[in-house]
Amino acid sequence: MDEAGKRLQAIIDTVIDGIITIDINGVIESINPAGAVLFGYDIKDLIGHKINKLMPQPYRSQHDQYLTNYLTTREPKIIGIGREVEGMRKDGSTFPLRLAVSEVQLDNRTIFTGIIHDLSAMKAAERSLKELNDKLETLVDERTRELEGVINKLLKVNEQLEYEISERKQMQEILQQREEQLQISLAKEMELGELKSRFVSMASHEFRTPLSTILSSAALLQRYTLEEHQDRRDKHISRIKSSVANLTGILNDFLSLSKLEEGKIEVNYQRITLSELCGEVVDEVQGLLKEGQHIYHEDRTSGKEVELDRRIMKNILFNLLSNAIKYSGEDKPIHCIAEFEESNLCVTIRDQGIGIPLAEQKHLFSRFFRATNSLNIQGTGLGLDIVNRYLKLLNGTITFESEEGAGSSFTITIPQ
Ligand code: ADP
């Protein structure tokens, strides 16, 4: 063997991969020590033996056929390609290997060289990697399931919380409504309380004057026993009468107000002639007129009939006319004008009385309001409130103009 041949042999003998040559019948011609170790044989046990000895079934039986096929068709399955296959050791165990086969053309014949690289370690590493991977995947799966469980629990807790929150909100709303209702009733109660106390002070004040008049007139009457005292007796009798009328008026106001408050006043529309109705009221208030006062009743409705509640309308007019009389001096004229404006019925009652101070006019329709310039005149501060409420029942309105010391004019408007 020359130098190059020796070197080649040394390389073949020392490489870690197995190198095997076979003839075209699959008989092993040479194998290097690494190759023999790989399969667990001595070299001498392999030389001259078929290569399929190193393959597990079914490759072992198929190998001869494979070689024949290749030699006739030249269609390679491994030769010149290289692939992973399984080898079988002497003890029957198998192991993975990478096989690279090449065809070698010698002078007079063909041989095949196979280079075998043991893949056991790599496969084992791959396997453990896969196992690790599988374990990891199972772990991830488990954790995912656990997480899903936790998330589901959280979702349920969340749902429960949302439900509780919405319930709480509802409760809060109900509580708020209750509180608002309570506040309203409290405010109403307070208003009622205030009204009561104002009423009591007003009533005690307004009742005292006529009652003391009655008392003193009655006491005086006892004294006037002589025939010639008839004048004085008449004077005191008329004082008593007017005081009683006064008290009756106040009581009527209370009655009307309480009925209005309770919604007990029913509206009964009927066809009436306004001029007639105004005439009736004007007649009724005659007894209240002071010296020289006169009511000028002017009817501009041409006796036309209107749809109205007679009783309510009389009450409104009575209130306004008696105010005009009460708050005007002797000899002052009072006008009562009834007319149509478009489809509305309007009645204006005008006087030349004490008028209402400008600064106080905004309180005019508040219950118990009494203007400062009228405090020495008998009154309850209920009349205009009653008028206003009656008018609302008829869908009507009231407006006024007044100048202190010059007079007032009240106009009611009722749609027809
Ligand atoms: P009352 O006359 O019993 O006091 P009203 O509610 O009728 O109650 O009137 C409220 C207040 O309005 C009166 O106290 C008075 O100050 C004022 N007022 C009403 N009508 C007139 C009027 N024609 N002239 C001047 N003041 C009036």
Q: Could you say which residues of the chain have pLDDT below 50? A: none
Atom 14 of ligand 1, nearest CA residue = 370
Atom 3 of ligand 1, nearest CA residue = 379
The Å distance, Cα 323 to ligand 1 centre, comes to: 6
Sign for the pseudo-dihedral over CA of 328, 334, 338, 344:
negative
Rounded to an integer, what distance in angstroms lies between the CA atom of residue 259 and that of residue 191? Answer: 18
pLDDT for the residue numbered 277: 92
Question: What type of residue is 118?
Answer: D
The Å distance, Cα 381 to ligand 1 centre, comes to: 7
Please work out whether the CB of residue 383 comes within 6 Å of at least one atom of ligand 1: yes
**Which of 315, 318, 323 to mutate to test ligand 1, by most ligand atoms within 8 A of the CB atom?**
323
Per-residue pLDDT tens for 25-74?
A: 999 999 999 999 999 999 999 999 999 999 999 888 988 888 888 888 88
Rounded to the nearest 5°, which phi and psi values hold at 292?
80, -5
Angle subtended at Cα 105 by Cα 102 and Cα 107, rounded to the nearest 5 degrees: 160
| Three-class DSSP category at 262 | coil
The Å distance, Cα 394 to ligand 1 centre, comes to: 22
Name residue, tokens 């065809």.
103
pLDDT for the residue numbered 80: 67
**Which of 285, 328, 384 to mutate to test ligand 1, by most ligand atoms within 8 A of the CB atom?**
384
Please work out whether the CB of residue 379 comes within 6 Å of at least one atom of ligand 1: yes
Neighbouring residues of 49: CB distance < 8 A, sequence distance ≥ 6: 27, 28
Are residues 216 and 194 in contact, defined by beta-carbon separation less than 8 angstroms?
no
Give the closest residue to 393 by CA, choosing from 311, 312, 273: 312
The Å distance, Cα 87 to ligand 1 centre, comes to: 127
Whole-prediction pTM value? 0.58
Tokens of 381: 């501060």
The Å distance, Cα 357 to ligand 1 centre, comes to: 11
Q: Return the exposure string of 147-186: e unless at least 16 CB atoms fall within 10 Å of the residue's CB, then b.
A: eeeeeeeeeeeeeeeeeeeeeeeeeeeeeeeeeeeeeeee
pLDDT for the residue numbered 202: 82
**Cβ neighbourhood burial of 144 (10 Å; 0-12, 13-18, 19+):** exposed
Q: Which atom of ligand 1 is nearest the CA belonging to 370?
A: 14
Tokens of 400: 């006024």
Domains of the chain, earliest start first: 3-119 (3.30.450.20), 128-261 (no CATH), 270-415 (3.30.565.10)
Name residue, tokens 């009756």.
248
